Structure formats: C-alpha cells, structure tokens
Amino acid sequence: MAFTLYSLLQAALLCVNAIAVLHEERFLKNIGWGTDQGIGGFGEEPGIKSQLTNLIRSVRTVMRVPLIIVNSIAIVLLLLFG
Amino acid sequence: MQPAGLAAAGTPRQRKWPSKRRIPVSQPGMADPHQLFDDTSSAQSQGYGAQRGPGSLGYPAAAASPQAAFLADPVSNMAMAYGSSLAAQGKELVDKNIDRFIPVTKLKYYFAVDTLYVGKKLGLLFFPYLHQDWEVQYQQDTPVAPRFDINAPDLYIPAMAFITYVLVAGLALGTQDRFSPDLLGLQASSALAWLTLEVLAILLGLYLVTVNTDLTTIDLVAFLGYKYVGMIGGVLTGLLFGKTGYHLVLGWCCVSIFVFMIRTLRLKILAEAAAEGVPVRGARNQLRMYLTMAVAAAQPLLMYWLTFHLVR
C-alpha cells in the first residue's frame, strides 16, 4: 500500500501544474470553456460548466506565482535527492 | 470545565508550594503529582504563580524569603522578572495566533462528548435502521454540543477509531509475520492520504453542484472518519474467525455506513427535498442526489480497499 501523503502532495502539484498550463486562447476558447463565453448574469443556477470554468480561471490566476516557487523548490530537491 | 477544576484544585496546593519547593531547585522531578504541567524552576514558578492572581495571595509573600536567599543582587532579580514577563508574552502570542492556524475553539466543540454519547453513536453506526430523527438540534443558531444530541458530528470517535485502526492493522500484520515498525507509519499515512483525498473530492463536488449547505470541512472529516469503526470491526473479526467472519462483518458495516451516510447527508445537502420528505424532481436536486449517493458509495469501497490486504 504505497499511497502516502507524500505521493498525494506530488499528485496535487502535478494536477495544479496541469491546470495552469491550459492556454486560454489556444485551447479553452476552442472547446468553449473560455472565461468570457456564456458566464450568464446573476441567474440562480450557475451550472456545472460555468463553475468549472470559474474554477479553472481562479486556479490559474491565484496559483501562478506560488507554482513558480513550488516548482523551483521541487526541481532543486529532486535534482539533489532524486 | 477541566481548567476550572484544575485551578480550584491548584489553589490550595499552591500554598504548599513554598514548603515543598523551598530548597530543591536542582530537583525538577520532585513536583506535585496532581499538577498536569510542572514548572521546573522556582523562578519560573514564581512568575507562573504571579499570573494566577486571585489564588496566590499568600504565595509571593511566602516565597519572597527563599527567593531572596538565592538571588542576592537586584540585577539578577530584574533579569528574572524580565525573563518571566518574556515567557508570559510568548505564551500570550502563541495563544493569540494559534487560532489562526488551528481553529481551537471550533475544535473544542467536536470533542465535547461523554461516554453515553459515544456508546449511543457507536450503536447507531452499527445499526442505523431504527433511528427516526436525524436532525441536529440547534440552540439559538449554534448547533448543540455532541454531548446533548446524538446526531451531532464529533471528532472523538473518528480520531480514536483511526488510531485503533492503525494499531489493529499492526496486530493483523504481526499475526501473519509481515510486521515491521515502519509499516505502521505507512498504514497511517496511507489512510490519512485517502481521507484527505476524499475530503478534497467531496469539497470539489460540493462546489461544482453549488450546494448551499452548512456542512463545514471539519464536519466532513468527522463524517468520513466514522468508517474506521466498521473497518476495525471487520479486521478484528477477520483475525478471530477467518475470512468468512471478515466478509460478513465488513458487509454488515458497509451497508450500515451506507445507510448512515445517506440519512445524515440527505439533511445537509438535500435540504429542501428532505424537509418535505418527498423526492423532488429537478436537475439540481438530481445532481445533489447523485453527489450524496456517490459519497455514501465511496465509503464501503474505501472500507474494503483499506482492509482487505490485512486479512488473509
């Protein structure tokens, strides 16, 4: 049973990196998940798709700088300790 | 409850401190056995005693002479006073800031349990079929402490059950000659990782379905921790009666936890529908129903996944 907290941390870092590399113009707009497509006003139900779009946009905005730091640390540590 | 009792019990004993502690500064081990946190120096004990203002009226006067006997010059007197005030400031700072990282006051609510509650809750976890009323009682907008309401979530049972699960896993591995001490840490880490993953997945699900619920993260951790009780039961039966016992008890506990989770989460997630007691059609309610079913169905799966390698 090798599922440890450390592997969870690694998986989380990789997932956040994956969300961060989704390009707004080249990719998200083409599949209709762009941030200016159909947000809808102050209606009652945001719906899953707009929640997901918002989530992706927020993660990309908020985690941009911390990801740089955490990735640099991870690179250095993995180079040193394998 | 407990600090008041300690202070009350500590007050008459403080008057005994000068007689017990006058001479041995070098023997920190000789302390009042009923005190939970011992001061290991007379200087610090005087500063600590001075903090408990009302109870220690007789103390500084009685301690003045032994202190004077040790510290003749005023400089070290001042240094001692400064040191004790620094310690008090540090304690204050920690107390003030600990609330930012660990919500201590909120956590205290989840540990306000007593034996009767624990007994009834364990019975409910193994046999939830006859319980009628699953609503948590409120008292002026705050939920009632678990001691008074069996439906309230608590963190005592999940914490104890988690630790017991790790120990029982060690026991099971030991009976199969597969034990080594780092395996205990691996089991604990693995179970914690699954718990964290579950909590994150459910939080993501709650966010996506835009549920307006008062289900806090700690509540969620409490509910997800209840499955460890069934896991312990299954593994212990597996140790005593072999694989058939394990499968029987684990199957029973899986169904019980499934029913328990559905009935508990229904009130939290499907608030409007549950209030009427009638399943309401509609896209939003359907999504919420799916979410509740998914959460409840994940429990038996995880219970099996985390224990099947322990019973051979």
pLDDT tens per residue, range A52-74 = 888 888 988 998 999 999 999 99
Provide the residue type at B293 as one letter.
M
State how far the Cα of B269 lies from the Cα of B288, in Å rounded to an integer: 7
Min Cα separation A60/chain B (Å) = 16
Residue B58 lies in a domain: no
Min Cα separation B202/chain A (Å) = 15
Mean per-residue pLDDT pooled into runs of 10, chain B (312 residues): 45 46 45 51 51 47 55 81 89 79 80 90 90 81 81 91 94 90 90 92 88 83 93 92 92 93 86 57 77 91 90 82
Q: Do A1 and B190 touch (CB under 8 A)?
A: yes
Q: Do B186 and A1 touch (CB under 8 A)?
A: yes
Q: Which residues of A touch B189 (CB under 8 A)?
A: 4-6
Min Cα separation A82/chain B (Å) = 20
Residue B120 lies in a domain: no
* B285 touches A: beta carbon within 8 Å: no
Strand, coil or helix: A36: coil
Residue B273 lies in a domain: yes
Q: Which residues of A touch B283 (CB under 8 A)?
A: 45
Lookup: tokens for B91: 């304690």
* B101 touches A: beta carbon within 8 Å: no
Residue B225 lies in a domain: yes
The residue range of the domain holding B183 is 158-310
Residue B198 lies in a domain: yes
Lookup: tokens for B241: 């009666």
Q: Do A52 and B196 touch (CB under 8 A)?
A: no
Are the CB atoms for B228 and B162 separated by under 8 Å?
Answer: yes
Residue B114 lies in a domain: no
- Least confident range from A12-16, A30-34, B13-17: namely B13-17
Residue B271 lies in a domain: yes
Domains identified in chain B, total number: 1
Q: What is the share, in percent, of chain A residues with pLDDT greater than 90? A: 33
pLDDT at B286: 82
State how far the Cα of B52 lies from the Cα of B9, in Å rounded to an integer: 13
pLDDT at B19: 46
Q: Do B207 and A48 touch (CB under 8 A)?
A: no
Residue B132 lies in a domain: no
